[in-house]
Amino acid sequence: MILFTLKEHQSGPSEFIEMKINLKDDYEAQIAVLNCNDTVLIAESTSENNLVLELATRYWLSCGMYYPEYSKIDPNLLKVTCPKIVLLKKDDPSVDLFSQIGHVVFDEKEFREETFQMVYFPTLFGETND
- The predicted structure's pLDDT at residue 118: 84
Which strand (E) or helix (H) includes residue 4?
Answer: strand 2-9
Separation in Å, CA 112 to CA 26, 73, 90: 24, 21, 17
pLDDT in tens, the chain (130 residues): 998 887 766 776 677 788 898 888 888 877 776 656 678 999 999 999 999 999 998 888 899 999 999 999 999 999 888 899 999 999 999 999 999 999 999 999 999 999 988 887 655 555 443 3
Residue ranges covered by each domain of the chain: 2-123
- The predicted structure's pLDDT at residue 128: 41
For residue 49, which of 32, 62, 34, 68 has the smallest C-alpha distance?
A: 68
Is the CB of residue 49 less than 8 Å from the CB of residue 57?
A: no
